Structure 1
Amino acid sequence: MHPTPATSPQQPEHRPAAAPATSATSGTEPTANVVEVEPTATAQAVVPAAVQPAAGELARLAAQEAGTQLTPAPTRLGDVVPAPELVRPEPAADFTLPADTTIRVSPDPTALAVAERLADLLRPATGYPLPVVEADHPEPAGGLALVLAEQPALGLEGYQLDVTPTGVRISAATAAGLHHGTQTLRQLLPAAIESTTPVRTTWTLPGGSITDRPRFPYRGAMLDVARHFFGVDEVLQVIDHLARYKLNHLHLHLTDDQGWRIAVESRPRLTTIGGSTAVGDAPGGWYTPADYQRIVAYAADRHLTVVPEIDLPGHTNAALTAYPELAPDGTTPAPYTGTDVGFSYVDPANARTYEFVTDVLEEVAARTPGPFLHIGGDEAFKVKGTAYTGFVERVQHIVAGLGKTVVGWHQLAPAAHNEGRVLQWWGTDGADPATADAVRRGARLILSPGNHAYLDMKYAPDTPIGHDWAGLIDVRRAYDWDPATQVADVPAAAVLGVEAPLWTESVTSLAEVEFMLLPRLPAIAELGWSPRATHDWAAFRARLAGQGPRWASAGIAFHRSPEIPWPGSPTDPPAASVPTPAPRPRDPHTGRG
């Protein structure tokens, strides 16, 4: 990304200035001039005119709830989201963290990193020093122990957590399993553990044991940074939300008609021109190689894999403003700041298109340690039939040549199968013969049904931001579906996992991101992690209610859904309310707010 002036503390880092107002309005295909911008930034937050009424309504509702407090209930061993596979409470075996608690950990660098992050999570609220000590055979000894040990039945991400009067022991076969166990431990402590300043209380965990492992290997969320740009620090906070609920993939929608958000050194105008705009003339922005590496590393430290998406052949207006020779008519379109789709595409009959695609994907693949490259493929309405499938097949071949597994929206289904190909299904009708046929030819699926998992859908008719084209998605609708049976004629074995996309045409700030994610993201996370046998709406809403005081303690904006019995709250809070968090104190251990 590019530097933001130090005089703008509330502005997300590194937002370059928007291009002059030459953009077309929504519903009009761009036809005007292009203005290249330097990597400078505005000094104040900009709310696009189109969403100012929504922003004002959120502020009004926040003021309405300013005095509402959520009183946390006592924590029980099973009060965890996602629901663990097996819980065995032992009421007589509670453990209270003493001030001299030590975290002992197996002598392994990956396990040590998990232990250090656990200490960083617990220090601010407890005020305890929590030293981390490596030991060949770590035991709690009045504290916490993280143990790397063979756990064949729990796989690569499962863990065993035991709370006894002598301490807490988490064991797993991998650092990822230890990480997930620490997130469970975090939820077993009082809600005040999320505070960024010391809280005087007793830090007691309920006694017993938990045996846990994920249902699906892929559990993710998508953040659209193309329609509205979000700075690195904002993305890192989104990663924290995902890690809390044991998600393990962050899909970044990096390119679209409104903006190109990742630097490609061989194609610099993609960002200096294509990255200068956003929906509603909001500030543009982009990630430098160093910025992207920071996101990837932060995610990896929390056992998440970044999945970058370069959307092709449609959704490419930002690229065409920078490199018009890729357009079918060779003319330069205007930057686009509306929200229509389907009008732009790179020319599938032009050899230079494939040189461009190769240049871009080579650089993105080289910076991405994870196995996946997402090539989009949706809503290319003007590229039809064999022109579309031929383009997709050539791009799939490029991705395979880079040693990556291709992921694309389910519109890729008619193209020839590519080894390992993954389709992301966002339909609303489970009858999809083309996708079922692609699965029979070897494709695997990530489930993101638009009418259950699209987190840009409104909660209710009066939700001040969001959309309703796929219907309203309240918390129960986000929870009540089964990934294994969602698409007809697709066997459960072909389902790789689930993902919750958040498109940002109407979402302009981190507070609005959090409002749309929470409390629905934990519902999708539970579908991806927990065994189907634990699926129960009444039990889930009771466990989810306990998350509210934790979010409030952390100063996180969230939708106080009337479906959820938030502890200590009015029985029927406003359906569209959203808290406005106070400025978050900087954590002395992580250096972040």
Structure 2
Amino acid sequence: MNLRIIPIFFLIFITCKNPENSTPLIDKSLQITPKPLKINKKPGGFEINKNTSIVYTEESSKTIAKYFIEKIKTLTGHTFSINTNKDKKNSIQLVKNKSLNLKKEEYNLSISKEGVKITATTNQGLFYGMQTFTQLLPIYSENKSQMELPIQIQALEIEDAPRFGWRGMHLDVSRHFFSIDFIKKQLDVLSLFKINKFHWHLTDDQGWRIEIKKYPKLTEIGSIRKNEDGSIHQGYYTQEEIKEVVQYAKDRFIDVVPEFDTPGHAAAILAAYPELSCGKEKYEVRNLWGVESNILCAAKKETYTFIEDVIIEMTALFPYEYYHMGGDEVPKDQWKNSVECQNLKKREGLKDEKELQSYFMARVEKILSKYQKKMIGWDEILEGGITPTTNIMSWQGEEGGINAANKGHDVIMNPSQYCYFNFYQGDPKVEPLAFGGYIPLEKVYTYDPIPKEIEEDKKKHILGAQGNIWTEYTYKEETIEYLLYPRIIALAEVTWTAKENKNFEDFLSRLNNVYAILDYHTINYHIPLPEGPTTNRIVFTDSVTVPFSTTHPVKMVYTIDGTDPIITSTIYEKPLRFKETTDLRIASVLQNGKMSIVRKLMVTKEEIIPAVTTKKLSKGLIKHETKGYFKNIDEIPNNTITTNSIIKSIEDANTTYHWGHEVNKDNFKAVVMNGYLEIPEDGVYYFSSCQDQVWIADQLIIDYKDALKKHPKENSIALQKGKHKLKIIYLNNIAKGWATDWNTVELKYRKASEVDYHTVDENMIFH
């Protein structure tokens, strides 16, 4: 036998189609997200053709069948028929059997040559089984019509069950209002990945967003916020709109958890009904972020009447048993200064205001229980003690959740260091504006909602986890999506998939399939940006090496000719070295060809700037101060009365006030600091500041044009050892809900060879 022809026969064998079925076999079993509990492949596959029908065993499951028939029709244009004769041949069966040993969200999915069979004890289990089944079909593509029948899908057996019963997503609509169409869009996508709770943060200091018919001023006044620049932000949901969203969520087996904040975060309530406070002043809907000092009065009967009236109307809108009643960030100065509250403390034998808040929340919980509702509160309510039936949402960290669970309270974990998706997901110096913090995708994925400090018999009290989006700095719908996806998908897997089945590399391999689904739903998801340089202007004197990386592996492409890169541009493979000034542009590219935001960097060769010769100088800077509210530097009048003084340190230019409380507008001003900065040795230096402008050696190094000045800007310059002219311009004002006097007025520096910044201190400044 001629052995040289064996490979040819082997090649013919492996490329032959199944003689019983001429259609290619499609196997997407390893692309399912969240990853199922067990997947076992079987020989062969099932052919889906135009005669395939859907069969259901109980009339109540008809809605599930119709839901997916319509969904697949939307995706592919093909309509599956419902087989009313219950003929199981060539069918997708939805079998509901309450005698099975399956919990309410569990399902089994079987695919064989004969057909598809999804079994569960509930419609919710069937729904999740069908969501998994649709991920096995080739239905998500750019042209949205990829699935042309017949197709053959891999035979397999899936057993699946969630690790946790609470798999949630939170959205704050008080700081910025979002339409019900946008919320429905998110519910559509979240349900695909088996998220089952939607925490709707409807009230806060910055806006009341739910119609309450007995208290019309809540929306007439409380839903309208006048910003410091004179613009208006407003919006609320009518009760009919609320019902519409709740039903839409219910159809996708998502429970809606409303949040009605008490006793703090109540400025919008007090603007409408000031008699519910301990004071007598007039209140306004807060146009600053942070913590509000004005709260509901704990000693007034009217407060509890109001809360009950609101809850009565909410019970007709929100059928789910859990209601979130806030309890976080409650400054208690008003209670301390209230004669009525102090008398109440004495009557009830309460030792301090923390216990007074516990009294308040216990009364709120009692109201809820009258209407068969269970109360959730943020973890601050633990401080003064809680009732045995109170449930905790642990956000400040894991400690509150650990303590509550070990005492027998049910807990939803959403510690801010893992679950606050309004935080940055990449380098803050590179990413678009976010709240703060740093939570990359891997950190979300590797989070375990059950801390090791939880006692073994108390682990059952960890109901699950959720991802939170707070919207102080998310003005647009696409920004919400950019921050939310794919981190919420990672958390969906954290809360659904068995811990032993999780693997981050495997999750990343499935992201391409997830991206296709998100693209179909026009989700503006995050693509890791090229990181490395923290400023878009890189100065060098001889040559410079510029490295790039991404938070998780993604291909990068770049150009050096001043044009934006495209998917066929040069691939970044190693750090780039430059000897001449270059316009460098770089972006990340996914497998589907979708590109990230393009980073544009000027790599600039410059001569070192010589130090200046000066007479004997004194320490400190000359400060020129002009009173007034100035939105930008151009508004500072040239001919005006200024106050001049000498400051020993840059920080002395302004007092930093307690973050999050009131701002003294009498302190609004423009400050110009002049003098000299001493540089310790020759080299390229990077400077970082939140100030409006920083000039060094007559070069404009920082030019902070964004209205919101919260996170420092950076730039670089080449300087000789010695003294260089320094000018800093600082505006004390409010913009986009942020007061600049919450920032420390400072200037930081580092050499190009260093990583960490140092503060320019009083020994480096002269006049």
Query: Partner residue of 1:24?
Result: none
* Contact 2:49 2:149 (8 Å CA) reproduced: no
Native 8 Å contact 1:229 1:278 kept in 2 = no
Unaligned ranges ≥5, structure 2: 1-25, 336-352, 529-549, 558-566, 573-586, 599-767
Equivalent position of 2:52 in the other structure: 101
Describe the shift of the 1:203–1:233 C-alpha distance in structure 2 as closer, same or farther (beyond 3 A). farther
Q: CA deviation at 1:283?
A: 3.3
Tell me the equivalent position of 2:374: 405
Structure ID, larger Rg: 2
- Give a deviation string over 1:480-499, Cα, whole Å, max 9, x none: 11111266558322101111
Out of 300, 308, 314, the position equivalent to 1:350 is 300
**Does residue 1:206 correspond to 2:154, yes or no?**
yes
Equivalent pair of 1:228/1:282 in contact (CA under 8 Å): no
Aligned AA for 2:105?
E
Aligned partner letter, 1:128? H
The corresponding residue for 2:222 is: 274
What pairs with 1:130-169 in structure 2 (closer than 5 Å)? 130-134=80-84, 139=88, 141-150=89-98, 152-169=100-117
Aligned to 1:224: 172
Asked if 1:335 corresponds to 2:285, the answer is yes
1:120 to partner: Cα distance: 1.5
Is the contact between residue 392 and residue 415 of structure 1 (CA under 8 Å) also seen in structure 2? no
Conservation of the 8 A alpha-carbon contact between 2:76 and 2:144? no
Q: Is contact 1:365-1:373 (8 Å) kept?
A: no
Correspondence 1:325 to 2:275: yes
SS at match of 2:439: coil
**TM-superposed deviation, 1:75:** 4.8
Q: What is the one-letter code of the residue matched to 1:537?
A: F
More strand by proportion, 1 or 2? 2
Distance 1:188 1:213 in 2: 18
Write the letter of the residue equivalent to 2:501.
T
**What residue is the counterpart of 1:449 in the other structure?**
415
Give the Å deviation of 1:167. 2.5
Kept after mapping to 2: 8 A contact 1:195/1:553: no
Structure 1 partner of 2:74: 124
Q: Per-residue deviation at 1:342? A: 3.6
The worse-fitting range, judged by mean Cα deviation, of 407-416 and 361-370 is 407-416
Aligned to 2:471: 504
Deviation at 1:158? Answer: 0.5
Distance 1:494 1:107, change over 3 A: closer
TM-score normalised over the length of structure 2:
0.61
User: 1:133 deviation in Å?
Assistant: 3.4
Equivalent position SS for 2:224: coil
Instruction: Select which of 19, 25, 40 maps to 1:88.
Output: 40
- Aligned-residue sequence identity (percent) comes to 29
The 8 Å contact of residues 556 and 588 in structure 2, kept in 1 or not, is answered as no
1:301-320 superposed matches below 5 A: 301-320=251-270
SS of aligned partner of 2:163:
coil
| 8 Å contact from structure 2 (residues 138, 147) kept in 1 | no
Going from structure 1 to structure 2, the CA distance change for 1:278 and 1:152 (only over 3 Å counts) comes to: farther
From 234, 243, 257, give the equivalent of 1:293.
243
Residue in structure 2 matching 1:475, options 441, 454, 459: 441
Aligned-residue offset at 1:564:
5.2
Q: Which of 292, 313, 322 does residue 372 from structure 1 map onto?
A: 322
8 A Cα contact 1:112 1:134, kept in partner: no
The structural deviation recorded for 1:529 is: 0.9
TM-score (norm 1): 0.78
Q: What is the deviation of 1:401?
A: 1.5
Pair 1:169–1:199, CA change in 2 (3 A)? closer
Q: Counterpart of 1:174 in structure 2: which amino acid? A: T
Write the distance in 1 (CA, Å) between the matches of 2:201 and 2:87.
42
Within 1, Cα distance between the matches of 2:48 and 2:501? 30
Q: Deviations over 1:382-409 (max 9, x none)?
A: 2632221111111111111221011111
**SS, match of residue 504 in structure 1:** coil
Structure 1, residues 426-465: CA drift from partner, whole Å, max 9, x if none? 123x344xx5443344311001011111111111122213
2:414 is equivalent to residue 466 of structure 1: no
SS in 2 for 1:483: coil
Structure 1 window deviating more from structure 2 (387-396 vs 191-200): it is: 191-200
- 1:395 alignment partner in structure 2: 364
Shift of 1:207: 2.1
Shift of 1:474: 0.9
Q: 1:359 to 1:170 in 2, by over 3 A?
A: same
Q: Is the 8 A contact 2:70 2:79 kept in 1?
A: no
Which ranges of 4 or more aligned residues in structure 1 deviate by more than 6 Å? 566-572
Residues 252 and 196 (structure 1 numbering): CA distance in 2 closer, same or farther, change over 3 Å? farther
**Residue 145 (structure 1) shift:** 1.6
2:622 match: none
Cα separation, partners in 2 of 1:161 and 1:195, compared to 1, 3 Å: farther
**Does 1:541 find its partner at 2:508?**
yes
Offset of 1:357 from its aligned partner? 0.9
The 8 Å contact of residues 46 and 114 in structure 2, kept in 1 or not, is answered as yes
Counterpart residue number, 1:558: 525
Query: Using the alignment, how far apart are the partners of 2:211 and 2:106 within structure 1?
Result: 37
Contact 1:422 / 1:443 at 8 angstroms: preserved in 2? yes
Q: Which of 362, 365, 389 is the equivalent residue of 2:312?
A: 362
2:489 counterpart residue number: 522
Deviation (angstroms), 1:419: 5.0
The alignment partner of 1:165 has SS state of coil
Alignment-derived partner of residue 426 in structure 1? 395
Task: Supply the distance in 1 between the matched residues of 2:373 and 2:204 (Cα, whole angstroms).
Answer: 22
CA apart distance, 1:478: 0.8
- For the residue of structure 2 that corresponds to 1:546, the secondary structure is helix
Cα distance, 1:560–1:75 mapped onto 2, change above 3 Å: farther
Number of aligned positions between the proteins: 499
Bigger drift between 270-279 and 121-130 goes to 270-279
Residue in structure 1 matched with residue 343 of structure 2 by the alignment: none
SS at match of 2:118: strand
CA contact (8 A) 2:404 2:411 kept: no
Name the SS for the 2:405 alignment partner. Answer: helix
Distance (Å, rounded) in 2 between the aligned partners of 1:284 and 1:390: 33
Deviation larger for 387-396 or 92-101: 92-101
Matched residue, 2:450? 484
Offset of residue 205 of structure 1: 3.0
Instruction: Find the residue that maps to 1:220 and give its secondary structure.
Output: strand
Q: Write the mapping of 1:2-151 to structure 2, written as runs, cut at 5 A.
A: 75-90=27-42, 92-109=43-60, 111-134=61-84, 139=88, 141-150=89-98
- Residue 14 of structure 1 aligns with which residue? none
- 1: distance between equivalents of 2:146 and 2:448? 41
Task: Choose between structure 1 and 2 for higher RCO, CA contacts under 8 A separated by at least 6 residues.
Answer: 1
Name the Cα RMSD after superposition.
2.8
Conservation of the 8 A alpha-carbon contact between 1:270 and 1:318? yes
Q: Which residue of 2 is the match for residue 70 of structure 1?
A: none
* 1:140-179 residue CA offsets vs partner (Å, 9 max, x unmatched): x223221112364331110111122332211111000011
Does the C-alpha gap of structure 1 residues 79 and 304 become closer, same or farther in structure 2, counting only changes over 3 Å? Answer: same
